Amino acid sequence: MSRASDQAYARIRAHLLSGAMVAGKQLTEDQLAQISGVSRTPVREAVRRLEDELLLVRSDTKRLFVADWSRDDIEEMFVLRQMLEGHAAERAASRLSREQIAALEAVNRDLTAAVQQASPDVARFLESNRAFHEVIIDAAHSPRLAQLLARLVEAPVVLRTARTYTREDLLQSARDHDELIAAFAARDPDWARAVMGSHLRRAFHTFARAVGPAAQSDGVGEP
């Protein structure tokens, strides 16, 4: 990938994850070129990567849209995450170095600080949360697992509901991370898998509560 393509990918992805684009909105290469500040050729390369991550989708007529998932789609994504990240946590429990555990502690301190501000810094929370899970996935030492999870980690929650979470929801995530760190420090793979499973299941129910009954019946509403 070229540097321009990497720039386009990073800027478009950040724009999508910020919630600035409504789910289902049609996009053009010209619009994305303006957002990313590069020409259309690297934008095309970036778009292919974002399609792989399910952040962008194409219609049968090849038109490009911001991804729009049904509640059933998202629940399935959470179930898959629970399976895969539970396995990653189990593998990581016996492989994480002291330095990596220290990195998890530092990232979770930053995540907690973001939540405890007068107005929670959700963007900072999301970045710290991603970094936390990436350390675990890296420590699992499974390229296949990392590739599978790349499409699932952020998409279900970030575009739709992260900005509707309460401070308590966000703090609960930090507490779950603390328990994961304790499981890793104890080198207990069963504990790590169990905590990761409950952490992700709790995240799904927070999501379901945030979107509300009407959205669950008719499709997911916007934050």
222 located within any domain: no
Q: What are phi and psi of 57, to 5 degrees?
A: -135, 155
221 located within any domain: no
Gap between the Cα atoms of 113 and 89, Å rounded: 24
**46 and 77 share a domain?**
no
Residue 11's domain comprises 3-66
**59 and 149 share a domain?**
no
What is the number of domains present in the chain?
A: 2
Q: What is the CATH number of the domain that holds 54?
A: 1.10.10.10
37: left (phi over 0), alpha (psi -120 to 50) or beta: left
For residue 163, the 8-state DSSP code is G
- The length of the chain in residues reads 223
Q: Which of 44, 66, 88 is the last residue of a domain?
A: 66
**157 and 82 share a domain?**
yes
CA 223 to chain centre: 16
Whole-model pTM?
Answer: 0.74
81 located within any domain: yes
**159 and 203 share a domain?**
yes
Q: What is the CATH number of the domain that holds 201?
A: 1.20.120.530
For residue 161, the 8-state DSSP code is T
What pLDDT is stored for residue 161 in this prediction? 56
Q: Which of 66, 86, 111 is the last residue of a domain?
A: 66
Gap between the Cα atoms of 218 and 165, Å rounded: 21
Q: What is the pLDDT along the chain (223 residues), one digit of tens a residue?
A: 578 999 999 999 888 877 678 888 999 999 999 999 999 999 999 999 999 877 899 999 999 999 877 778 778 888 999 999 999 999 999 999 999 999 999 999 999 999 999 999 988 898 899 899 999 999 999 999 998 887 776 655 555 556 667 899 899 999 999 999 999 999 999 999 999 999 999 988 887 776 665 444 333 333 3
Q: Which of 42, 66, 90 is the last residue of a domain?
A: 66
**122 and 103 share a domain?**
yes
**113 and 166 share a domain?**
yes
CA 25 to chain centre: 20
**Segment 94-98 long-range contacts (CB within 8 Å, at least 24 positions apart):** 94/187, 94/189, 95/139, 95/140, 95/141, 96/135, 96/136, 96/139, 96/184, 97/139
223 located within any domain: no
